[in-house]
Amino acid sequence: MIQIPDSFQIQPFYQQKMVSLPDLKNSFKEICRTIPFYYDMVKDQKYWKNKHEIIPVLLEWWSEEEQTLTMLFRERNTKEARPVMIFMSAAFIDCLFWMNDKTLSGLTQLEQDLAHIKFKPINCEERLDFVLRHPSQYQSFTQLRALYLEVRKTYAKIKLLEHIT
């Protein structure tokens, strides 16, 4: 069992303080799916210190899950879409922080923390708040899809700027 820090215990991610520890032999994606923000909670620096290795993995993961979500929402299967939306929202938040070379210390002040991030989609705080409040709605899916598209472009810009300097 692992205790979820108070700073990460917000809806829709966690309802209880203790969750089962994932098998650490599982893939990065499987661990993130089982315990959102696991690597932030245990302060494993290899992910936000090596953003050019992990951000493409997160973006590719979204591409895979976007297909699943498209099908689920087309079938109006919001019950099965909800958990996918939740862990992909968590992956988006990690992607946003890690590509800005920032660690995520918690979610209780997410809006304020996002305000201090340099590279992010326009109106990111409000849009992400909507997605997190309504993860079962199709409108949240379209918003999350747009956020991932914008973050993909922003990440390309970061790579270009880092290559130039």
Report d(CA 112, CA 42) in Å as an integer: 22
Question: Who's near 7: CB < 8 A, 6+ residues apart?
Answer: 105, 106, 107, 108
Mean pLDDT of the chain: 93
pLDDT band, very low/low/confident/very high, at 158 (cuts 50, 70, 90): very high
Question: Who's near 97: CB < 8 A, 6+ residues apart?
Answer: 40, 48, 103, 104, 113, 117
**Model pTM score:** 0.94
Q: What is the pLDDT of residues 28-44, one digit of tens each?
A: 899 999 999 999 998 88
Say what the pLDDT of residue 165 is: 56
- Sign of the Cα torsion 122, 124, 128, 129 reads negative
Q: Of all residues in the chain, what percent are helix, strand and coil, respectively (each to 5)?
A: 65, 0, 35
Of 17, 51, 21, 16, give the one whose Cα is nearest residue 35: 21
Q: How many CB atoms lie within 10 A of CB 107?
A: 22
DSSP 26: S
Report d(CA 47, CA 45) in Å as an integer: 5
Contact 24, 31 (CB under 8 A): yes
pLDDT band, very low/low/confident/very high, at 1 (cuts 50, 70, 90): confident
Q: What is the pLDDT of residues 78-129, one digit of tens each?
A: 999 999 999 999 999 999 999 999 989 999 999 999 999 999 999 999 999 9
Report d(CA 117, CA 63) in Å as an integer: 24
Report d(CA 161, CA 67) in Å as an integer: 31
Say what the pLDDT of residue 15 is: 82
Say what the pLDDT of residue 16 is: 82
Question: Which has more confidence, 141 or 26?
Answer: 141
